[in-house]
């Protein structure tokens, strides 16, 4: 009985020591600090692992909003990154400058990169591997751009925002992939050049730069 106790004591001590260190899975959940750099035409909201960590500081009601944003946040890997991008529109017609000689269909675009501040490594960049769901598209009949009553004459397709779409467990496998565009196609302005973009970072949007007005984007970084 005494000999058994002498054997058990070191085993118990070793188990206690291992428990105090945590399992590999627990160690992987250590929070890291990240820097998100985002430019959008015209507005965005950024979510990481289901939590909203920041958004464009200029309201979507501002017609010309082309500023870049830098957002610092903490999170644990894997990172589920979700971004809502919106192009400015006056109403569901999808038009802007309504009633003026500049009445037109606007265009959108978004680019982002996320850096792990501890390693200074860019761990995420927008590109064609991201999933993209268009939930507001207008006008479906672009000829209405000259209408005197576009809210009546312009047709739109509006889809409800999926529930829990920012969460890690949400499946976006059925979503189409994002479409990439060049800075020239988007006609980048102001804040875009304030950020030193990774060569891998691309401007993304839905398949139509003009008629796609609200787009949801998702990706996961393991």
Run means of pLDDT, 10 residues per run, the chain, 222 residues: 47 46 55 97 97 96 88 97 97 96 95 97 98 98 97 97 97 98 95 96 98 98 94
| Contact predicate 105/114, CB 8 Å | no
Q: Helix, strand or coil for residue 63?
A: coil
What is the per-residue pLDDT for 84?
98
Q: Where are the domains of the chain?
A: 30-221
Q: Give strand pairing partners of 104.
A: 96
Residues in CB range of 2: below 8 A, 6 or more apart: none
CATH architecture of 30-221: Sandwich (2.60)
With b for 16 or more beta-carbon neighbours within 10 A and e for fewer, the 57-91 pattern comes to ebebeeeebbbbbebebebeeebbbbbbbbbbbbe
Q: Convert 100-154 into a string of H (helix), E (strand) and C (coil).
A: CCCCEECCCEEEEEEEECCCCEEEEECCCCCEEEEEEECCCCHHHHHCCCHHHHC
What is the per-residue pLDDT for 63?
78
């Amino acid at each position: 009985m005494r000999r058994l106790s002498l054997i058990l004591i070191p085993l118990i001590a070793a188990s206690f020591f291992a428990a105090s260190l945590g399992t590999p899975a627990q160690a992987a959940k250590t929070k890291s600090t990240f820097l998100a750099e985002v430019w959008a035409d015209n507005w965005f909201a950024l979510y990481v692992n289901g939590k909203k960590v920041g958004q464009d500081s200029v309201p979507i009601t501002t017609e010309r909003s082309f500023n870049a944003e830098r957002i610092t946040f903490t999170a644990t890997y894997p990172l589920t990154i979700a971004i809502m991008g919106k192009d400015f529109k006056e109403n569901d017609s999808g038009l802007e400058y309504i009633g003026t000689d500049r009445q037109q269909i606007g265009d959108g675009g978004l680019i982002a990169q996320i850096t792990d501040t501890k390693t200074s490594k860019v761990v995420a960049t927008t590109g064609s591997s991201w999933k993209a769901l268009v939930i507001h598209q207008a006008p479906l009949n672009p000829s209405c751009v000259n209408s005197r009553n576009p809210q009546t004459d312009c047709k739109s397709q509006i889809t409800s925002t999926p529930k829990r779409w920012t969460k890690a467990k949400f499946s976006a496998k059925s979503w189409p992939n994002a479409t990439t565009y060049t800075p020239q196609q988007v006609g980048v302005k102001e804040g875009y050049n304030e950020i030193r973009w990774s060569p891998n970072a691309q401007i993304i949007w839905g398949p139509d730069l003009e008629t796609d007005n609200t787009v949801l984007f998702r990706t996961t970084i393991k």
